[in-house]
Chains A and B, each alone.
Chain A
Amino acid sequence: MTALATRDLSVVFGRGAEAMRAVSSVSIEVPRGAAFGLIGESGSGKSTVLRAVSGLNLSYTGSVTIDGAEAERPRGLAFFRRVQMVFQDPYGSLHPRKLVRDALLEPLRIHRIPDGEQRMAEVLDAVDLPREFAYRFPHQLSGGQRQRVAIARCLILEPEILLLDEPTSALDVSVQAGVLNLLKRLQEERGLTYLMVSHDLAVVTHICSDVAVMTNGEIVETLPADDIRNGAARHSYARELLTSARSVGAL
Chain B
Amino acid sequence: MSELLRIDALDVAYASRKGLSPALRGVSFALGAEKVGIVGESGSGKSTTGRAILRLLPRAAKMTAKTLTFQEVDLAAASEREMRRIRGARISMILQDPKYALNPLKTVGAQITESWKIHHPATSRAELRDRALDMLEKVKIRNPSRVHDLFPHEVSGGMGQRVMIAMMMVPEPRLIIADEPTSALDVTVRRSVLDTLAELVEERGAGLIFISHDLPLVARFCDRIVVMYAGRIVEEIAASDLKDACHPYTQGLLASLPPLDRQLERLSVPVRDPAWLTGPVYRNGAAA
Contact pick for B187, options A174, A199, A225, A229, CB 8 Å:
A199
Instruction: State whether B267 touches A249 (Cβ < 8 A).
Output: no
Contact B220 A248 (CB under 8 A): yes
A68 to B265, CA, bound (A): 31
- A173: chain B residues at CB < 8 Å are 41, 213, 215, 253, 256-257
Proximity string of chain B (225-264) to chain A, C-beta cutoff 8 Å, 1 when within and 0 when not: 0000000000000000011000000001110111111111
CA–CA, A240 and B186, complex, Å: 12
Q: How far is it, in angstroms, between the C-alpha of A178 and the C-alpha of B259 when the chains are bound?
A: 15
Closest CB in chain A relative to B225 CB, distance in Å: 12
Q: Considering only CB atoms, which chain B residue lies closest to A242 in the complex?
A: B260
Tell me how far the C-beta of A200 lies from the nearest C-beta in chain B, rounded to whole angstroms: 8
- A251 to B270, Cβ gap below 8 A? no
Closest to B41 in A: A172
Contact with B along A10-44 (1 / 0, CB 8 A): 00000000000000000000000000000001100
Q: Hey, which chain B residues are within 8 Å of A172, CB to CB?
A: 41-42, 213
Chain A residues near B157: list those with CB within 8 A.
42
- Is A145 in contact with chain B by the CB < 8 A criterion? no
Distance, CA A28 to CA B194, complexed state (A): 35
Q: Is the CB of A244 within 8 A of B213?
A: no
Asked whether B85 is an interface residue with its Cβ less than 8 Å from the other chain, the reply is: no
* Residues of chain A contacted by B265 (CB below 8 angstroms): 184
Q: A177 near B: Cβ within 8 Å?
A: yes
Would A174 and B217 count as touching, CB distance under 8 A?
Answer: no
User: Does A181 belong to the interface (CB within 8 Å)?
Assistant: yes
- Beta-carbon nearest neighbor of B44 in chain A: A172
B125 within 8 A of A: no
Instruction: Say which residue of A175, A206, A249 sits within 8 Å of B216 (CB atoms).
Output: A249
Q: Is the CB of B215 within 8 A of A181?
A: no
- Contact at B267–A206, with CB atoms within 8 Å? yes
Contact across chains for A250 and B261 when beta carbons are under 8 A apart: yes
Q: Classify chain A's interface size.
A: 20 to 34
Chain B residues contacting A108 (CB-CB under 8 Å) are none
> Cβ of B260 and Cβ of A202 under 8 Å apart?
yes
**A181 CA to B264 CA, complexed, in Å:** 10
Contact A244–B260 (Cβ < 8 Å):
no
**Least CB separation from B188: chain A residue:** A244
Q: What are the interface flags for A194-231 relative to B under an 8 Å C-beta threshold, 1 for contact and 0 otherwise?
A: 00000101110110000000000000000001101100
Which B residues are in CB contact (< 8 Å) with A247? Answer: 191, 220
User: Is A241 part of the binding interface, using a Cβ–Cβ cutoff of 8 Å?
Assistant: yes
Q: Are B260 and A205 in contact (CB under 8 A)?
A: yes
- A205 to B259, alpha carbons, bound, how many Å? 9
In the complex, which of the residues B186, B194, B242, B259 contacts A41, with contact meaning CB atoms closer than 8 Å? Answer: B186
Q: Report the Cα distance A246→B191, complex, angstroms.
A: 10
Question: Measured between C-beta atoms, what is the minimum distance from A215 to chain B in Å?
Answer: 10
Say yes or no: A202-B257 contact (C-beta < 8 A), given A172-B213, A248-B190: yes
Does A232 interact with chain B (Cβ within 8 Å)? no
Tell me, rounded to whole Å, the shortest Cβ–Cβ distance linking A168 to chain B: 9
**Minimum CB distance partner of B255 in chain A:** A177
The interface of chain B, by Cβ under 8 A from chain A, is: 41-42, 157, 186-188, 190-191, 194, 213, 215-217, 219-220, 242-243, 252-254, 256-270
Provide 25 A-B residue pairs closer than 8 Å at the C-beta atoms, listed in order of the A residue.
A41-B186, A41-B187, A41-B188, A42-B186, A172-B42, A173-B41, A173-B213, A177-B267, A180-B258, A199-B187, A202-B257, A202-B260, A203-B258, A205-B260, A206-B259, A206-B263, A229-B260, A229-B261, A244-B191, A246-B260, A248-B191, A248-B194, A249-B216, A250-B261, A251-B242
- The 4 A-B pairs of least Cβ separation, nearest first, read A177-B256, A41-B186, A206-B258, A177-B267
Question: Chain A interface (Cβ within 8 Å of chain B)?
Answer: 41-42, 143, 172-178, 180-181, 184, 199, 201-203, 205-206, 225-226, 228-229, 240-241, 244-251
